[in-house]
Structure 1
Amino acid sequence: MTFMSNFKTRSKEKPMGIKTWIKIALVVVTLAAIFYLAWFVIHPSRQPTPPPPAPTPSPPEGAARLTQTPPEEAARPHVIMVSIDGARDDYVDRFIADGTMPNLAKLAHKGVMAEYLRSINPSLTAAAHASIGTGAYPHRTNVVSNKFHRSQDNFYWYTSAFEVPEISVEPIWRTAMRYGLKTAAAFWFGAHPDFADQVADYTVSYGRCDVYSAMHVLTFTLASEWQNAPPSFSPYLESTLDILGKGDARVARLYVLALDTTDDGELNYDTLILDDNRRVEESPLKSPALRLDEWAPMEISSHLHSGAYFKLQAITVTVESVDEISATVPLEAAVFRSRVCFNYASPPELLREINERFGFFRPSPDYYALVQGWIDEEDYFHMGEEQSRWMAEVAAYVYQKYHPDLFLTWQGPVDEAGHQFLLVDKRQPGFAREKARHYAELYRRAYQLADENLGRILEAAEGDKAVFLVFSDHGMAPIHTKVYVNTILQEAGLLEFKGPPKYYVNVEKSKALAFASGGSAYIYVNLKGRERPGIVPKEEYEDVVDAIVKALEAVRDPETGGQVFCRILRRNQLGQLKLDSPYSGDVFVQACPGYVLTDWRGSEAVFEPANYYGQHGYDPNLPELHAFFVASGEGIKEGGTIGPVDLVDIAPTVAKLLGFPPPKTAEGRVLEELWP
Structure 2
Amino acid sequence: MTFFLTLTVHSIAAQSVSTTPRPKVILISLDGATPDFVEQYLAKGVLSPKQGLGLIKNKGVYAERNITCSASLTAACHVAIATGSTAARNDINSNTFHLVASPFTSNISGFGAPIGGYSTTEPTESLEPTAEPLWIGLQQNGKKVVAATFPGADGVNVQVPGLTNSPIIQAANKRTVSYTVPFGAFAGVGAQGFSLTAADFSPATSQTVSQLKAARKFSYSPIKQASLSDRFTVGGVSYNIQVAALDTTKDRQTNYDTLVFFDATIGIQPGPFSLPSTGAAYVRARDNKSSLFYLEGSSNRAGTAFYVSNLAADLSTVRIARYSANFIPTNSAVQNSVNDILNNVGFWAPQADFRITEKLSPGFTNFPDTELEAIYEDQVELFVDYQTRVATRAINQNPDADLVMVYIEQPDGSEHQFLLTDSRQATDPTNPNTIGAGQDSEKVARYQSYVQTAYEAADNAVQRLINVVGTDKKGKPKSNIIVVSDHGFSSFHTAVNLNNFLRSRGFDLNKVRAVTSGPAANIYINLQGREPNGIVSPVEYVTLQQQIVTSLKEFVDTNPNYALGGLQAIFDKIYPRPLPDNLNDPTFGLGTSEFVGQDTGDVFAIMNDGYNFDGTQSPVITRLGDTDNLVFSVPNFYGAHGYDPTISKLSAIFYAAGPDISRRGSIGTIYNINVAPTINDLLGVASAPTVQGQIINLKKGRFSN
Fold conserved between structures, TM > 0.5: yes
- On the 8 A contact 1:139/1:579 being kept in 2, the answer is yes
Task: Tell me which of 261, 266, 270 is aligned to 1:281.
Answer: 270
The correspondence of residues 532-543 of structure 1 with structure 2, limited to 5 A, is: 532-543=532-543
> Structure 2 residue aligned with 1:379, among 358, 375, 384?
375
Aligned to 1:356: 343
* 1:591 pairs with one of 593, 597, 607: 607
Unaligned runs of 5+ in 1: 1-73, 319-329, 497-509
Question: In the alignment, which of 684, 691, 700 is matched to residue 666 of structure 1?
Answer: 691
Deviation per CA, 1:303-332, whole angstroms, max 9, x where unpaired?
A: 5332111112345799xxxxxxxxxxx978
Does the C-alpha gap of structure 1 residues 266 and 89 become closer, same or farther in structure 2, counting only changes over 3 Å? Answer: closer
Match of 1:237 in 2: 225
Q: State the partner residue of 2:392.
A: 396
CA deviation vs aligned residue, 1:126-153 (integer Å, no higher than 9, x gap): 0001010011112231111111011232
CA–CA separation in structure 2 for the residues paired with 1:479 and 1:245: 38
- State the 1:610 CA deviation: 2.1
The one-letter code matched in structure 1 to 2:268 is R
The CA distance in 1 between the partners of 2:570 and 2:395, in whole Å, is 46
Which residue, 61, 73, 82 being the options, matches 1:112? 61
Distance 1:332 1:614, change over 3 A: closer
Q: Which residue of 1 aligns with 2:11?
A: none
Match of 2:408 in 1: 411
SS in 2 for 1:659: coil
The equivalent of 2:498 in structure 1 is: 485
TM-score by structure 1 length? Answer: 0.79
Within the candidate set 171, 176, 185, 1:208 is matched to 185
What corresponds to 1:301 in structure 2? 296
TM-aligned CA deviation for residue 547 of structure 1: 2.5
**Secondary structure of residue in 2 paired with 1:130:** helix
Note closer, same or farther for the CA distance 1:357–1:77 as it changes in structure 2 (3 Å cut).
closer
Query: What is the CA distance between 1:471 and its match in structure 2?
Result: 1.3
Higher helix fraction (1 or 2): 1
Question: Measured at CA, do residues 495 and 331 of structure 1 come closer, stay the same or move farther in structure 2, by a change above 3 Å?
Answer: farther
The verdict on how the C-alpha distance between 1:85 and 1:166 changes in structure 2, with shifts beyond 3 A counting, is: same
- Choose which of 75, 81, 88 in structure 2 pairs with 1:139: 88
> In the alignment, which of 652, 662, 666 is matched to residue 641 of structure 1?
666
Deviation at residue 624 of structure 1 after TM alignment: 1.0
Secondary structure at the residue paired with 2:55? helix
Structure 2 partner of 1:564: 570
1:468 corresponds to which residue?
481
Return the alpha-carbon distance in structure 2 between the equivalents of residues 235 and 400 of structure 1.
44
Residue 89 of structure 1 corresponds to 35
* Per-residue deviation, 1:77: 7.3
- 2:506 counterpart letter in structure 1: G
Q: Which amino acid aligns with 2:525?
A: V
Q: Secondary structure at the match of 2:227?
A: strand
Using the TM superposition, give the Cα deviation of residue 156 of structure 1 relative to its aligned residue in structure 2, in angstroms: 2.0
The answer on whether the counterparts of 2:112 and 2:152 sit within 8 Å (CA) in structure 1 is no
TM superposition shift of 1:432: 3.6
User: Against the structure 1 CA distance between its residues 576 and 165, is the aligned structure 2 distance closer, same or farther, given a 3 Å change threshold?
Assistant: closer
In the alignment, residue 98 of structure 1 is paired with which amino acid? K
More deviation in 446-455 or 636-645? 636-645
How many Å separate the matches in 1 of 2:29 and 2:306?
A: 29
Q: Following the alignment from structure 1 to structure 2, what is the Cα–Cα distance between the partners of residues 100 and 624?
A: 20
Query: What is aligned with 2:239?
Result: 252
1:376/1:298 CA distance change after superposition, 3 Å: same
**Shift of residue 598 of structure 1?**
3.7
Q: CA deviation at 1:110?
A: 1.6
Q: Pick which of 210-219 and 415-424 moved more.
A: 210-219
Offset from partner CA, 1:518-567 (integer Å, 9 cap, x none): 12111111222323443322221122223322332332214133211112
Closer, same or farther in 2 for the Cα pair 1:599/1:554, shift >3 Å? farther
Alpha-carbon distance in 2 for matches of 1:417, 1:85: 10
Map of 1:614 onto structure 2: 639
| CA offsets 1:374-408 (integer angstroms, 9 cap, x no match) | 65223212211210111112211211221211111
Larger displacement relative to structure 2 (595-604 or 113-122): 595-604
Identity value in percent: 30
Compared CA separation, residues 231 and 100, structure 1 to 2 (3 A): closer
Q: What is the 5 A alignment of 1:395-544?
A: 395-403=391-399, 404-430=401-427, 431-462=439-470, 465-495=478-508, 510-544=510-544
Tell which structure's C-alpha radius of gyration is larger. Answer: 1
Residues 180-214 of structure 1 deviation map (CA, whole Å, 9 limit, x = unaligned):
01110111011112222111101111112212212
Q: Kindly tell me: are residues 289 and 466 of structure 1, through their superposed partners in 2, closer, same or farther at Cα, counting changes over 3 Å?
A: closer
Deviation at 1:266, TM superposition (A): 6.9
The worse-fitting range, judged by mean Cα deviation, of 221-230 and 173-182 is 221-230
Tell me the SS of whatever aligns to 1:162.
helix
- Residue identity opposite 2:306 in structure 1: F
Out of 561-570 and 286-295, give the one that drifted further: 286-295
> Partner residue of 2:283?
290
> Post-superposition shift, 1:96?
2.6
Q: 1:427 to 1:332 in 2, by over 3 A?
A: closer
- Report the number of matched residues: 579
Q: CA deviation at 1:365?
A: 0.7
Q: 3-state SS of the aligned residue for 1:228? A: helix
Q: Do residues 311 (structure 1) and 302 (structure 2) align?
A: no
Report 1:169-248 matches (<5 A).
169-194=131-156, 195-210=172-187, 211-217=189-195, 219-224=200-205, 225-226=207-208, 227-229=210-212, 230-232=217-219, 233-234=221-222, 236-244=224-232
CA drift at 1:340: 0.8
Deviation at 1:165, TM superposition (A): 6.6
1:227-269 CA-to-partner distances (Å, cap 9, x unmatched) read 42244423543315434359x9974222322334467777654
What is the distance in 2 between the residues matched to 1:521 and 1:527? 18
Structure 2 residue identity aligned to 1:117: N
* Equivalent residue letter for 1:475: G
TM-superposed deviation, 1:450: 0.9
State the TM-score, normalized to the length of structure 2.
0.76
> Residue 158 of structure 1 aligns to which amino acid in structure 2?
N
Structure 1 contact 167–190 (Cα < 8 Å) conserved: no
Q: Is the Cα contact below 8 Å between 1:399 and 1:407 reproduced in 2? A: yes
Q: How large is the Cα RMSD of the aligned pairs?
A: 3.0
Structure 1 range deviating more: 99-108 or 407-416: 99-108
The alpha carbon displacement at 1:453 in A equals 0.6
AA aligned opposite 2:554: A
Q: Check 1:601–1:143 CA distance in 2 against 1; reply closer, same or farther (3 A cut).
A: farther
For the structure 1 residues 244 and 151, does the alpha-carbon distance in structure 2 shift closer, same or farther, using more than 3 Å as the test?
Answer: farther
Judge conservation of contact 1:125–1:473 (CA < 8 Å) in 2.
yes
The DSSP-based 3-state class of the residue aligned with 2:337 is helix
Give the 3 Å change call, closer, same or farther, for CA 561–580 of structure 1 in structure 2. Answer: closer
Distance in 1, Cα, partners of 2:290 & 2:45: 30
In the TM superposition, residue 297 of structure 1 has moved relative to its aligned partner by 0.9
Question: Quick one: distance in 2 between partners of 1:528 and 1:568?
Answer: 24
